[in-house]
Amino acid sequence: MSFINLVDRAVEENKEFCVNVLKKLISIPTVNPPGEKYEEISNYLAEVLEKIGLKVKVIKVPKDVVEKYYPQYADYPRFIVLTELGKGEPIVHFSGHYDVVPAGSGWTKNPFKPTVEEGKLYGRGASDMKGGIASIILTAKVFSELKADLKGKIELSFTPDEETGGQTGVGYLVEQGIVKPNYAIIAEPSGLNSIWIGNKGAVWITVEVFGKQAHGSTPWLGVNAFEKMVELAHRMVRELKPKIEAKTSKYDYGVPEGAKATINIGGEVKGGAKVNIVPGYFSFSIDRRTIPEETADEAAREIVEFINNVAKEISDLKVNVKVMSKFNATVSEPTTDLVKTAVESVKEVLGIEPKTTVCIGGLDTRYFQEKGIQAITYGPGIPSVAHMADEYIKVGDMVEIAKVYARIVTKLLS
């Protein structure tokens, strides 16, 4: 029997192990924000990895780093779980984030008491992305038990805070040089038939509009900040938005609309105090999504210059534009070794030709790709149920993905 056939059989035999790992992960409510139960889940992950024969390192992210990105949650410690199998290079790095969004409303099941019904495992984080973590651990368990002769190393990391940007998770690992792999695979729920080879970038901006507060019965004595904000926003929608959306990318995004650069105005609006007060202050947000053919700096500069120019044309309009955060769109080209190997592996296991697309949202792959590391996102789960009530994952998908992971490793480290 060939090695890969031995791997497939071992993966199938360990299906129940995979399910039990995921159930335990879901039962630890690692809700972010603020970042609850991180130490508990880190301890559990370390315990599981040690039981399958791996040496584990748990890294506590320095408090000053947490304070920099999440000052309001600095009292919630952040932990990164790191392990490896094999030695030398090349290094194939598997990454998963263990934080989940709040459960929200509308559930028909307890979001943190996982249940399996008709092959589906329900619970918050099942698809996004504790199911991916379970698949990674299953893959590592099989390679460890089979004592695979790897010409290189498998590296695993389980990190916090992807749901709030990832700077204290994968971002910290990569920026500090703690991991320097040749290839990285993020186990986010891409779906079985889709490999995300990159992601769009983003620029988040807050625009403050200043007027002059007055009594509602004497509006002529004030300057209505809301009215000025509306004027500015209208100009942006009428003049700036079409210019931005005319920018299109050469890559496949899964849906035609995804290839456009986009701008979303007013996701957050703040201001006003009382019905009988002329508001002296309002602010609104801008969410600008970039394509690989442009930089985040260029996108930010275009918006700031437009707003400042319009402010000169509207009487009594005083603004302050703050760029809150930004990151570039990143891509690993379809011709790279990792992407080609992943496509071949999916075809071998599932008998389908996976799509190689750029994710419309942001992913942790960007931290690796920004350093020139080949990286993809491919993992079990259904993207459309992430963050939804009654989130679930198909148990069989976790098993099939583990087989794909095993083939990728075997091809790259043989």
Note the pLDDT of residue 126: 99
State which CATH number among 3.10.450.50, 3.40.630.10, 3.40.50.300, 3.40.50.970 fits the domain covering 3-199+329-412.
3.40.630.10
Annotated domain spans of the chain = 3-199+329-412, 201-327
- Note whether 36 and 30 are within 8 A (CB): yes
**β-strand 79-86 against 153-159: which pairing, if any?**
antiparallel
Cα 83 versus chain centre, distance = 21
Note the pLDDT of residue 171: 98
Compute the distance between CA of residue 393 and CA of residue 118 in angstroms, rounded to an integer: 11
What's at 381, amino acid-wise? Answer: G
Compute the distance between CA of residue 308 and CA of residue 98 in angstroms, rounded to an integer: 41
Structure token digits, residue 404: 């794909």
Note the pLDDT of residue 177: 98
Q: Say yes or no: domain 201-327 is CATH 3.30.70.360.
A: yes
The DSSP letter of residue 195 is: E
Compute the distance between CA of residue 235 and CA of residue 238 in angstroms, rounded to an integer: 5
The residue with tokens 């779906």 is 191
Residues constituting the chain: 414
Note the pLDDT of residue 319: 98
Note the pLDDT of residue 1: 74
414 residues of the chain, pLDDT tens digit each: 799 999 999 999 999 999 999 999 999 999 999 999 999 999 999 999 999 999 999 999 999 999 999 999 999 999 999 999 999 999 999 999 999 999 999 999 999 999 999 999 999 999 999 999 999 999 999 999 999 899 999 999 999 999 999 999 999 999 999 999 999 999 999 999 999 999 999 999 999 999 999 999 999 999 999 999 999 999 999 999 999 999 999 999 999 999 999 999 999 999 999 999 999 999 999 999 999 999 999 999 999 999 999 999 999 999 999 999 999 999 999 999 999 999 999 999 999 999 999 999 999 999 999 999 999 999 999 999 999 999 999 999 999 999 999 999 999 998
| DSSP secondary structure letters along 112-143 | TS-EEETTEEESTTIIIIIHHHHHHHHHHHHH
Compute the distance between CA of residue 78 and CA of residue 63 in angstroms, rounded to an integer: 8
Note the pLDDT of residue 221: 98
Beta bridge partners of 267: none
